[in-house]
Amino acid sequence: MFSKILIANRGEIAVRIIKTCRRLGIATVVVYSEADADSMAVEMADETVFIGPAPAAQSYLVADKIVDACRQTGAEAVHPGFGFLSENAGFAKRLAAEGIVFIGPNPHAIEAMGDKIESKKFATRAGVSVVPGHVGEIDDTAHAIKISEDIGYPVMIKASAGGGGKGIRVAWNQKDVEEGFPAVRAEAKASFGDDRIFIEKFIESPRHIEIQVLGDKHGNVVHLFERECSIQRRNQKVIEEAPSPLLDETTRAAMGAQAVALAKAVNYDSAGTVEFVAGQDKSFFFLEMNTRLQVEHPVTELITGVDLVEQMIRSAYGEKLAFGQKDLKINGWAMESRIYAEDPYRGFLPSIGRLVRYSPPKEGEVDGGIVRNDAGVREGDEISMFYDPMISKLSTWGETRIAAIDVMGRALEDFHIEGLGQNIPFLAAVMDQARFRSGVLSTNYIKDEFPEGFVGVPPTDYQRDLMSAVACAMHRIVTARSAPQLVRDEWVVIAGQDKRNVRLSNGGHAFNVEMIETGRRYGLTDVEWRPGLRIFRARFDGKAFTVAVKPAAEGFVIRHRATTLHVLVLSPRSAELHGKLPPKKAADTSKQILSPMPGLVVTLDVVPGQTVRTGEQVAIVEAMKMQNIIRAERDGVVKAVGAKAGDSVAADEVLVEFG
């Protein structure tokens, strides 16, 4: 077995690889950029090598620097993780020429299947049904428009070397191609160092299902069943699960056999994923093959018990697979939620900054299920604008699909992050949705279920009762410390438009709660909270729960799953006076175009005095390798411009002001 492996990656996947290497007794080397100098991966590795500035094109994508790091440290092999150089055949060949083992498939397999253009050509020659499209290279925007019109709208513009949801746009008309093609090309160049683009027919309301394959250097290939990855936003996966609620045994076997056949045709000898687009009728078409480890590999590991990183290492070393297809079985169900640094309340725009608080849920066996959190960050770390916005991957396992969903819901409750926007409330909303729980999914799910964007979820009656009880308990605990003479049992609770009378008696770590108007009674027990804590844990009516809490100018802001309420606890007289206060007026920003996120201004396309029409592009702001086109929401004449190309801007910073 290898004695030392270099990990040519960063973040959670670098940490994930280190954990398996430690278990196998293999020393690790981690390369790092300026942005990652204090990262968890750097702290955990046995050796580290600095490879340059934060932009990936100057560090993680530079093959010479990776090779030099191997020479410096004596690393025998390189694990590329995912992204960066993981699907670069030239890099794999370079390592081979240097006598260094690439922990991934052979270069021929990468060239044949890893490149999205070449993989479609290969699949077509092999008789595999593929999505209609243009699989040759595209010269320029005019060529892209002609191809799109020949295929027929809508089409998907994709980076050939893309992955992780980057370098993808759906075009519904010529204007979308004119704007989307150069944007995709720019993203592809910045993220992958490869600006080749292809275009294919966009199939509406499909499901995204992928088959995990695993091969060795002795001709053996197996599949480890499927993953459902249909819950996507901007073509980036958000929630994955294994197995798929769509497939029956016959379809599963057919998809698995096709994936294995493709893998064997290129002598595939590592972990890889064959992706399919599937209809609700269980029809399926080959989409592409990712010749690397997938981000969502934990769900496959949870239902099969196979460590895919270990198998990649063993295969690269030349070992035979220790199991065959008949030895693999599906055990239970697994879910994965990607915790992203983004603000779901602002159109899911990237949110960068420091993790002021980072408290993940307890891992291991929980309530009959399993919780696993793959992360490469700690409290105090900074989420950089230079890399992917994923903070961690939260995975759960249960004996059934609903059990896995329920374990995930509770784990999301226990996940506490402060300092930047994050999508935990949104993920919790999906877990509670009847449609998601039914398994009726498609890649349009988020657009269908949240057509106006995410604004939170209205509270149920149970949640109103729970949050009222929590607010009263916190108010009583604070009052007992600061002014014990003012402690009382009956309060008026105002939460949004809801006003109610609540009786909360006893104290310590347990309270009796009564909603006076309805007569509903609860026990609030096992309370874990003291002033200053941002998490309140307890049992309500015997059921464990966790809410995020913070003091407001008046009362508390309380979030339970996807529901947030500003809750006031008042005496009857204070409640009467409160009702007479005039509402606060919101600031008028109708004559301003604000940056929707922190990032880098790529272009600012207007000047003072210019007339702008509704829908016209005024700027492009880039963050985390994604370019966001900002358009005018009204007609007007530009009065002032607040930034220029190359400037770094904060969220809500004024870009353009109209007269």
Write the pLDDT tens digit of every residue in 408-441: 999 999 999 999 999 999 999 999 999 999 999 9
Specify whether the CB–CB gap between 484 and 506 falls below 8 A.
no
Residue 486 has phi, psi (to 5 degrees) of: -95, 0
pLDDT of residue 161: 77
**Pairing status of strand 382-383 against strand 353-354:** antiparallel
pLDDT of residue 253: 95
Q: Please give the full DSSP string across 313-356, using - where no structure is assigned.
A: HHHHHTPPPS--GGG----SEEEEEEEESEEGGGTTEE--EE-S
Terminal Cα distance for the chain, rounded: 70
Q: Which residues of the chain have pLDDT under 70?
A: 135, 162-165, 507-508, 580-589, 624-625
Provide CB contacts within 8 A for 143, sequence distance 6+.
none
| Nearest by Cα to 318 from 268, 355, 269 | 269
Q: Please give the full DSSP string across 412-464, using - where no structure is assigned.
A: HHT-EEESS--SHHHHHHHHH-HHHHHT---TTHHHHH-TT-----PPPHHHH
Specify whether the CB–CB gap between 297 and 308 falls below 8 A.
yes
pLDDT of residue 579: 72
pLDDT of residue 353: 87
Dihedral over Cα of 295, 296, 297, 301: its sign:
positive
pLDDT of residue 235: 82
The H helix count followed by the E strand count for the chain is 17, 40
3-state SS track over 203-257: CCCCEEEEEEEEECCCCCEEEEEEEEEEEEECCEEEEEEECCCCCCHHHHHHHHH
CA distances 443 to 112, 204, 449, Å, are 27, 8, 11
pLDDT of residue 554: 80
Is the full-model pTM beyond 0.85? no
Active-site annotation, residues: 288
CA distances 384 to 43, 62, 389, 648, 655, Å, are 18, 19, 8, 13, 22
State pLDDT tens for residues 152-203.
Answer: 898 999 888 766 667 889 999 999 999 999 999 988 888 888 888 889 888 7
- What does the alpha-carbon distance between residue 144 and residue 208 come to, in Å, rounded to a whole number? 25
Q: What are the structure tokens assigned to 623, written together?
A: 């963050």
pLDDT of residue 385: 82
